[in-house]
Amino acid sequence: MPRLDPDVLEEHPLYIVGNALAEKLQSLAPGVPNVHMVGWVPSVLPYLHRARVTVVPLLHGAGTKRKVIQALMAGTPTVASSIGVEGLGIQDGEHVLFADDPTAFATHVTNLVRDEDLWQRLAQAGRTRMLESHSRQTGGERFQHALSSVLARRPKKLRLADLVTADQGQTLDDGYISLVRRIARIVRAELPADARAVVISKGDDALLELGTVQARHFPCTNDGQYAGYYPADSAAAVAHLEAQRSAGAQFLILPRTSFWWLEYYSGFRAHLEQHYPLIVSRQHTCLIFGLQPLIQNGPTQSPAPGLEVPT
């Protein structure tokens, strides 16, 4: 501030805008002409649009400085320290002006205020550069590319072995391992030895180790591998269930970790209640539905009225 021409400050007062304006900094303002301590505002955009120059004299920091991005996208030329422009891929004298020395910093501010050609060139170049790298369109395209890249990969399977630490050999979740074992015991005791089942599994192959009972993931690909995602809605869940039943599945197993399906996919739950008997109900372990359709008014087993969602 002392290195700026008083005439510059008279024409272009300094506004300090932003959250958490320190008391130490505020104590410097009284008696200094043409300095306004603003502090927190709902949006800095009105100040950026009115300002002739944005100054970002950061002495330390990490990550991308969004304040610089926002200023340049508003078309406000910026003078910043080298810390202030880290990671932005912008050039000194082309998009902004850099300075770490107080005298050079003040000189850049004065030049931008007084040199109309320099001001216009940096205002346009800085905004153009930020729109190339940080516009809504660019951000959307990058996000779509990231999603496409992830979806193109084969789904990773959750293995029970992943729950064991390599260095200590201690389980991270004994409760889950115990649950998997209890489900296996119940299935072996309650289902025919040659039964075919689908298990809401989230890709854990350990849940398919059910002795002689043949099990597939639910949802799954055509070859029985975990699909890698949940159904979009109840209609998709019902459609997938019926496809698996047509392919030979005789039972649907819901481990306790999947009970939330009955609340989230309410239409799927209603479909089960209406069409298939609940043949095993262990509220602390699993639910098992038989996938042979109910015969109305016949001797076949009926589901418990109003299937209660275990909590």
Residues 6+ apart with CB under 8 A from 108: 79, 97, 99
Per-residue pLDDT tens digits for 33-73: 888 888 888 998 999 999 999 999 888 877 778 888 899 99
Q: CB–CB of 206/159 below 8 Å? A: yes
Q: What contacts 24+ positions apart, CB below 8 Å, involve 36-41? A: 41/17
pLDDT score for 165: 39
The pLDDT of residue 159 is 46
* Alpha helices, DSSP H, located in the chain: 6-11, 23-26, 45-50, 66-73, 102-114, 116-134, 136-151, 174-190, 234-246, 261-264, 266-275
Residue 216 DSSP symbol: E
Query: How many C-beta neighbours within 10 Å does residue 220 have?
Result: 21
Q: What pLDDT does residue 310 have?
A: 56
Q: How many CB atoms lie within 10 A of CB 183?
A: 25
**What would the pLDDT profile of 281-300 be if each residue is shown by its tens digit?**
988 899 999 998 865 544 44
| Among the ranges given (168-182, 242-256, 278-292), the one the predictor scored with the smallest mean pLDDT | 168-182
By C-alpha distance, which of 211, 29, 267, 285 is closest to 38?
Answer: 29
**Residues forming a β-bridge with 288:** 253, 280
pLDDT band at 112 (very low <50, low <70, confident <90, very high): very high
How confident is the model over 298-309, as pLDDT tens digits? Answer: 444 444 445 555
**pLDDT cut 70: percent of the chain above it:** 87
- Whether the per-residue pLDDT at 172 is higher than 70: the answer is no
